[in-house]
Amino acid sequence: MQASTARAGFVVSKAVGNAVVRNKVRRRLRHLVRPLLGELPAGSTLVVRALPAAAEAMYATLGTDLSAAIAAARKPRRPR
């Protein structure tokens, strides 16, 4: 049975920073993803992996990068 709404999960490794930094990055990403979930197909799952640069990135930069990544993922792929 599929979920009726899209879900998001976050992968923030120790390479991003200590626990305080990792949680800060996770909270920022969670806040940025929430309004975007409505644009995804029902039942889809989005996994966001934070790279070490996310620890120092400005909030606006994280938002822009996240939106660009979701747009790229939704783009149709060419068959090989």
Binned at pLDDT 50, 70 and 90, residue 1 comes out as very low
Binned at pLDDT 50, 70 and 90, residue 21 comes out as very high
Q: Which pLDDT score, from 0 to 100, does residue 52 have?
A: 96
Query: Please, which residues have CB within 8 angstroms of residue 46's CB and are 6 or more apart in sequence?
Result: 6, 7, 8, 9, 33, 37, 40, 70
Higher-confidence residue of 72 and 1: namely 72
Cβ-based neighbour number of residue 59 at 10 Å: 10
Average pLDDT, the chain: 90
- 34-39 average pLDDT score: 88
Class of the 7-74 domain? alpha beta
Domain boundaries, the chain: 7-74
